[in-house]
Structure formats: C-alpha cells, structure tokens
C-alpha cells in the first residue's frame, strides 16, 4: 500500500521521499516510478531508531526543498497468539514499529510542517484500531494508540496550517504478513479481516482522495465502513462478529 501511495502521488505531480527498512523494496518502487523517478528519493531507515528519524527531515528537505505532507504507513502485525501466551518481545516489537515509529516521525516532521502555508499529516491506523481482532490484541492496541494520537493532533492543530487525517484500512491486498515475519495459513493478505481484500492501488486512491478533501477519518474498504458503523452502534456485537470471522486462526 505504501508503494501504491508513492506511485499515485508521483503521478499527481508530487515530489516524494519514501522511507523503508529494505533497500530492495525502495529500488523496486523507484523502477516502477518510470518517468517520475527523478521526483522520488529513497531513505533507508528503521523508524524505531529515534535519533536517525530526527535527522531525516533535513535530509528530505535537502533533496526536495520543503516538506508539505507526511503519511505514516509503516506497520506490522503480531503472531496470531493470545495475550496470555504472547512473549513480551513480540509485543514490544509491534508497539515500537506501529506506535513509536509513527510518533517519532510526527515529532520529527511537525516543526517543519508548521512552517508551511499548507500541510497535512495522515497516520494509518486500522480497522483493528476500533474493533478487537482475536489474536491481534497488541496490533489493535498499537493502532488504537495511533488513532488517538492522530485525533489529538487534529485538535491541537486546529488553529494552524496543518491538516490531520486518521486512516482506517480494512482488508487490503498487501504483504504485511510476510513483512511482519508472521505465518498465517489460510489468511488473506491483510490478516485482520476475512472480508474480500481491496486491491492496494484502490486503497491508495481512497486515502489520497481523503487527504485532498481534508477528511478527519478515512475509512478504506466496505468492511472498514461497515465495522466502523457497527462498532459505534453495537460494540459488543461487532466484537463477536469479528471473533466468529477470525476464531479459526486461533484454533
């Protein structure tokens, strides 16, 4: 999904800096960028490394001249293991990447975004950030933290030039399971849902369209929209529905 976001932004005429822990993935994206490749820069970085993250804005500005937007898309899931059985090492890894990685990027770039006449922050939460997914409790907790962080930023930045959006994808065709080092036999590409997965390029279109419209919440996919409605109307029923959809992964 991150790749599709980058390619779509380039297609729309933006200059784009992509950040990844894998050099090969960024080079593949650069090759796919084709004629727009000259507007793309790649930055090898582990977003859990706070010191290096705080050095990143100046590196990006040196290449592109300014930063007008930040999309925090990086994320990993946990092994499909219950709370009582999951090791703290796995828990901490998920929280470091999903929450602290997002927080570090926001804290690093926000001072520069506030200097711009118009800017935007979009943080990718998840459908799992507002409805519980069995076997993904800490993934959900990290994404719920991203949700509240983003909503808090929205409130605090009301009188500034920086707009803020929280993004909630449902099932999307991505490689999040393999990137997370998680084996989920029989699960879809986006393991938090058994609904039909949305193609990543379509998810990117929905996200960029939501950013352009300064949407507060961007719900990506029919499953995310439905579960968002149900979780607000009948949260217990929503939790039971997701359990029925996902319980085989824990058996």
As annotated, the active-site residues are 139
- Beta bridge partners, 71, equal 122
- Torsion on CA atoms 240, 231, 184, 27, rounded to nearest 10: 180
* CA Rg value for the chain: 18
Core vs surface per residue 170-199: b (16+ CB within 10 A) or e: bbbbbebbebbebebeebbbbbbbbbebbe
Pairing of strands 40-44, 16-20: parallel
* E strand residue ranges, the chain: 16-20, 40-44, 69-72, 119-124, 162-169, 217-220
Element (H, E) at 249: none
The burial class, CB within 10 Å (0-12 / 13-18 / 19+), for 243 is: middle
- CA angle, 32 then 42 then 197, to 5°: 55
């Amino acid at each position: 999904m991150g790749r599709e976001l980058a390619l779509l932004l380039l297609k729309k005429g933006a200059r784009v800096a992509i950040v990844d822990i894998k050099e090969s993935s960024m080079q593949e994206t650069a090759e796919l960028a084709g004629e727009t490749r000259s507007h793309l820069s790649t930055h090898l970085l582990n977003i859990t490394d706070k010191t290096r993250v705080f050095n990143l804005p100046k590196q990006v500005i040196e290449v592109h001249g300014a930063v007008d937007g930040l999309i925090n898309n990086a994320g990993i899931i946990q092994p499909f293991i219950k709370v009582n059985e999951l090791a703290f090492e796995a828990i901490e890894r998920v929280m470091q990447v999903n929450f602290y990685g997002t927080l570090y990027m926001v804290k690093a770039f926000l001072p520069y975004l506030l200097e711009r006449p118009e800017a935007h922050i979009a943080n990718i939460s998840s459908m799992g950030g507002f409805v519980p997914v069995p076997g993904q409790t800490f993934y959900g907790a990290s994404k719920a933290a991203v949700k509240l962080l983003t909503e808090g930023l929205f409130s605090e930045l009301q009188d500034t030039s920086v707009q803020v959006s929280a993004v909630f994808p449902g099932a999307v065709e991505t490689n999040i399971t393999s990137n997370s080092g998680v084996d989920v036999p029989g699960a879809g590409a986006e393991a938090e849902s058994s609904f039909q997965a949305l193609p990543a390029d379509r998810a990117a279109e929905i996200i960029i369209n939501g950013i352009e419209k300064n949407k507060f919440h961007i719900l990506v996919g029919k499953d995310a929209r439905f579960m968002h409605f149900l979780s607000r109307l009948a949260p217990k029923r929503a939790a039971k529905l997701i359990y029925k959809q996902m319980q085989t992964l824990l058996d």
